[in-house]
Chains A and B, each alone.
Chain A
Amino acid sequence: ILMRSTPPPAKYGGRHTVTLIPGDGIGPELLNHVREVFRFSCVPVDFEVVHVNSAVETEDDISNAITAIRRNGVALKGNIETKHTMPPSVKSRNSVLRTSLDLYANVMHCQSLPGVQTRHKNIDIMIIRENTEGEYSSLEHESVSGVVESLKIITRNNSLRIADYAFRLAREKGRRRVTAVHKANIMKLADGLFLQCCREVASGYPDITFDSMIVDNTTMQLVSKPQQFDVMVMPNLYGNVVSNVCAGLVGGPGLVPGANYGRDYAVFETATRNTGKSIANKNIANPTAVLLASCMMLDHLKLYDYASLIRNAVLTTMNETRLHTADIGGQGTTSEVVQSVMRIIQSKGQLTSEL
């Protein structure tokens, strides 16, 4: 994504250093595969691994991770589990990371993949989700025993910022229409403000059509006629719902990569941020989403050739039904998919290390 506002990170000797947070569940194994593919393809990226232990209450681990990302500018991460046994004061580590680094835009591109069987075809939706405020403000209190208030914060600044990001991205990618998703008929002030900001930004892009849709109708439309959507922009919680619905429509959590962009930092992960605890360490997880996320990261580092090389290998592997993992209806293993990716890369004649 060519967003000039984020400066390219510093590099020494032509090599980039990227922070890697393995996370929980399937994160560690899949990110190991990414490193395997990168090593094999001689990608000039070194990973600085930072572990975040979800079982401890202190904030040291996540602070270290944040510091490392500040230093390197770019990160690739797995999802960090939020244990319910912890007291409510222990906030979601993923959320803390996003807000501390002000990664205000969560971007997800949902496209139907030709090799994957789904109920709906020809889906091509870009989802831009406000990533730092809204319902995820983590401002809660129990005023009286048994009465809990949770604050949803919407600000003019962040709404303008995300709307601006959405329209700039739409223009850059040659997209025709931006739809704002909201519930302003009920949350008149909060979502009303968000909608108002989108309208203001839209007026500066007369070449792009702008419309809006209420979130419940949006989900209904998505499951019946998803092809009608182009670019969608929305506050945090609706973004959570819509991105998961769209990921499900194109084939599931194993396929779609996601990116979190801020002014100074960028963090890449799977779009639906699942820990996948139940399938961890069984060699059955789908590595596609993580591999494609790593390609998005390579694009961000302006290593376009490497990004294309790996991405093409992954998408070509997708067309081979024999190699499909369980989540998309096959019986292939994670390592079989990764081996196939590396074989295709090797066949392109690039310099590679030993298979």
Chain B
Amino acid sequence: FCSSTWLKNAIQTVTLIPGDGIGPEISSAVMKIFEAAQAPIKWEKRNVTAIQGPGGKWMIPPDAKESMDRNKIGLKGPLNTPIAAGHPSMNLLLRKTFDLYANVRPCVSIEGYKTPYTDVNLVTIRENTEGEYSGIEHVIVDGVVQSIKLITEQASQRIAEYAFEYARNNQRASVTAVHKANIMRMSDGLFLRKCREAAEKHKDVKFTEMYLDTVCLNMVQDPTQFDVLVMPNLYGDILSDLCAGLIGGLGVTPSGNIGTNGVAIFESVHGTAPDIAGKDMANPTALLLSAVMMLRHMGLHGHAKKIEAACFDTIREKKVVTKDLGGNSKCSEFTDAICQRVKDMD
């Protein structure tokens, strides 16, 4: 996954999906910073607004799909889901198109952006295709609704193995499976079994299991006890947002989605912020940190470290930061400050 088969000087093409709202401006910020850092990345911009194919099925435009299939790596800004009837969620569409089965969110406390929690350094790995988000619901009789949570051996095995591989490749000491197998004996029981099996194959990584409620209870008291967490879809959704809250919110949290066939799409998980779009007020940190995650995934650790350090230093110094980070600088000013730092590092 962290393949170092890429030659350090070879230019890699990455599909860039700027997105909507503040998407284009934060994407420009990232491109500018990457240029200043002389990262060997060439951007191929694509639009993923869904179109209806023959037969009326919603799909992402063929040129976007072709680009991603070719480049394998993508960076994406926030997307709007149009309210049009029958239009699927854009994120869901991307997920299904590329079988993005793992959502990975590293949550690290940002020095200089104070929250009640310090020293947070954990990673949530969420199964992203099934579980409670199967979308299978029925009205049984009037007033009784059934929603089906689907857990399969295949998907559980896949995410469990990914979690351990990730831990190994990123020098993480332990993996904790989060579950509610006391209540959902069969479904979470199956998930847990697959995690245990993957643990057997990766004895160099410590494995623990913890109930979802215990994780929540302990997370808000002492998040430093957690390292890598792996879990089914819903718990992952809740926990990854909870952890984002610990370090300062979605505006500073990176995220990556891993798919089959080597596809990986890194994204900012905040919204499109239409109220500040086009006003040079947006904070590009989340997208930038996701891009840094992308560099690491591609094996470009040197550039990743440089850009990340420049970003954190700028935030820590607090002189030129955007409004949400406690300052009153413009997005372009914040971006320029980071660019300058990156250049000074050389």
- List A residues at the B interface (Cβ < 8 Å): 82, 84, 88-92, 95, 119-120, 135-136, 138, 140-142, 145-157, 183, 186-190, 193, 215-217, 219-224, 237, 240-241, 243-245, 247-249, 252-253, 272-274
Contacts and interface: CB of A to CB of B under 8 A. Distances in A.
A1 B228 CA distance: 42
B242 A152 contact: no
The 7 closest A-B pairs by CB, nearest first: A146-B153, A220-B245, A156-B143, A88-B185, A248-B220, A216-B241, A119-B116
Contacts of B147: 151-154, 187, 189-190
Say which size band chain B's interface belongs to. Answer: 35 or more
A245 B150 contact: no
Contacts of A249: 220
Contact of A155 (B145, B153, B212, B218): B145
A240 B221 contact: no
A152 B133 CA distance: 12
Interface stretch (B15-23, B37-45, B159-167, B176-184): B176-184
Interface in B132-191: 132-133, 135, 137-139, 142-154, 180-190
A190 B137 contact: yes
Given A150-B150, A243-B213, 20 more contacts: A82-B182, A119-B116, A119-B117, A120-B116, A138-B183, A147-B150, A147-B152, A148-B150, A149-B187, A150-B187, A154-B145, A189-B138, A189-B139, A189-B145, A223-B246, A240-B213, A241-B213, A245-B219, A249-B220, A273-B213
Given A147-B152, A152-B132, A153-B145, A216 B138 contact: no
B189 A216 contact: no
B119 to A, nearest CB: 13
Contacts of A142: 186
B273 interface: no
Given A189-B147, A241-B238, A272 B244 contact: no
Contacts of B132: 135, 152, 186-187
A323 to B, nearest CB: 20
B219 A248 contact: yes
A150 B217 contact: no
B245 A156 contact: no
A93 to B, nearest CB: 10
B137 A244 contact: no
| Residue with the greatest number of chain A CB neighbours at <10 A, chosen from B144, B147, B190 | B147
Interface string B223-249: 000000000001001111110111001
A149 B148 contact: yes
18 contacts: A84-B192, A92-B183, A140-B185, A149-B148, A151-B146, A151-B148, A153-B146, A154-B145, A186-B132, A186-B133, A189-B139, A190-B145, A219-B216, A220-B241, A220-B244, A237-B180, A237-B234, A241-B238
Contacts of A90: 185
B107 to A, nearest CB: 11
Contacts of B144: 153-156
Contacts of B219: 245, 248
Nearest to B182: A82
A135 B183 contact: yes
B220 A223 contact: yes
Given A247-B217, A253-B217, A220 B183 contact: no
Contact of B184 (A140, A188, A220): A140
A244 B249 CA distance: 20
Given A84-B189, A241-B213, A219 B145 contact: no
A91 B185 contact: yes
B52 interface: no
B214 interface: yes
B4 interface: no
Given A190-B147, A245-B242, A84 B152 contact: no
B214 A150 contact: no
Nearest to A87: B185
Contacts of B142: 156
Contacts of B249: 220, 224
Given A187-B132, A249-B220, A224 B148 contact: no
B130 to A, nearest CB: 10
Contacts of A95: 183
B246 to A, nearest CB: 6
Nearest to A156: B143
